[in-house]
Amino acid sequence: MISTSDALVAVADSILEKITQLGPVEITKKGRKYKFVNNTFQRIQKEDKHLIIHPEDLNKNFAALLAHRILSSISPDMLTTHRDLSLMIIGVADQLEKNGWYEEENSSVINYKALKFVYIEEHAATAIEFAQSVTDEHLAMGYNILYCSKLNFFHTDHHIGTRLEGHHMRLYVEKFFGEDALELPEVLTALKSFVHWANIKGFLYKLDVDSIDVDKTEKQKFSKLPDPPAELKDYVYARPPSGTSKYFLVRKAMNTILENPYSQLIPYPQNGELPDPASIYCLCQEIQKDPVRYHLRAEVKRLARDPISLADLSQQHDKSVKVLLQIVSLVINTFTGIGCEFLLLNSKIPNLGDLWMEGHSEYYKQLLELHDKVAEYEDKGWTPLDIVNRLKQEGCQSMHERILDLRNQFPEDSRAET
């Protein structure tokens, strides 16, 4: 019979063997590749996307040379079939290196000392000769594309996504390179490399993101970077920062109920069925005042001096978010109307189902009874206003009354999308 100590050794050996077998294992998650290294899965960075810089000797034009090489590796005729795109990327890469506008905390931009790289004069001459055709217009195009990518990052935590994503990103790419460019894989590949080279904090600072953590030296450095168009600055506050969308979905979903012509009849849940939504409305207002503190990467990227822990927020509010969206689902599924369509298609809005409906059975019964009464009067040809006046009960708080009170108490940022 095997002893306890021998059994433990055998188990340990088995675990170590399995860990060793994970060495060559690679997994893909959300389009990113990871490899098992040092007992954990770490993201694999493709070296052919690295922008190599040599700030100590700008005459070497390393950034322009490497941008040229990266583009050439995408397809043999990249520089000719997408000449303006290539000139834009090479020209801006050169400016990022010369002005220090590159992302210093990103493995996509590295100093030449950290990578074995053979500097070949002939290759450099070819790249520099091509770069002679870069114009101020190419640079302006490139800066705007970078601003669009930082807006995407601010709102979604992705610069460009698995395809060209973001309203303004698509708008500007089409404007600069034509509608076909939106679906070309080589354009996407080139831009996915390019947009990660620029400094996140510096470009967000130029987009007038409040409370971005930049010091005096950084402000001076980025003062030379051309300002973004006003429409891009305005869009910073149109959407919530990455990691906070669920709270704004609750607010938007509840506000949508106001658009229903019978919202003054829909009862506000009583007897503790509904957590007070004031905490969510208040939180949304606080996020709008200083969105960068609430960004998913605020701490990791050092975007703000006093970042908020999203994990703590989730622990505090997730239960309320869940119940509020359940109640909204009951209402909009019972009283369908204008503005509800997008909510019914949202995966975060729960579908009707006995499994969770049991917790709100009394409230759902109230809604169904009200719906039947409204339908009776509609069949008689009554208008919504007449039906409301006929069925409205004094002393019974409605959804309309409560939500209107919340909107007045916690007004939304005028720059936000409605």
With 90 as the cut, is the pLDDT of residue 148 above it?
A: yes
Average pLDDT over residues 240-249: 96
CA–CA dist 191, 181 (Å, integer): 11
Task: Give φ, ψ of 196 to 5 degrees.
Answer: -85, -10
Is the alpha carbon torsion for 295, 301, 307, 309 positive or negative?
Answer: positive
- Work out the number of other CB atoms within 10 angstroms of the CB of residue 117: 17
d(CA 166, CA 143): 16
pLDDT of residue 52: 75
Residues 6+ apart with CB under 8 A from 203: 101, 146, 147, 150, 222, 225
Higher pLDDT, 166 or 115: 166
Round to whole Å and give the CA distance between 240 and 293.
Answer: 11
pLDDT at 203 over 90: yes
Q: Provide the pairing of β-strand 32-37 with 109-111.
A: unpaired
pLDDT recorded at residue 388: 96
Per the listing, tokens 């990871």 go with 34
Average pLDDT, the chain: 86
pLDDT band for position 338 (cuts 50, 70, 90): low
Instruction: Give pTM, 2 decimals.
Output: 0.83
Average pLDDT of the segment spanning 310-323: 95
CB atoms within 10 A of CB 151: 26
Local confidence band at 20 (pLDDT 50, 70, 90 cut-offs): low
Residue 271 tokens read as: 């007897």
Range 109-135 average pLDDT: 74
The pLDDT value recorded for residue 41 is 45
* pLDDT number for residue 144: 99
Q: Which of 43-47, 148-152, 192-196, 214-218 has the lowest mean pLDDT?
A: 43-47
DSSP per-residue codes, 10-40 = HHHHHHHHHHHHTTT-EEEETTEEEEEETTE
pLDDT of the residue at 44 = 40
Amino acid letter, residue 156: T
State the SS3 of 104-129.
CCCCCEEEHHHCCCCCCHHHHHHHHH
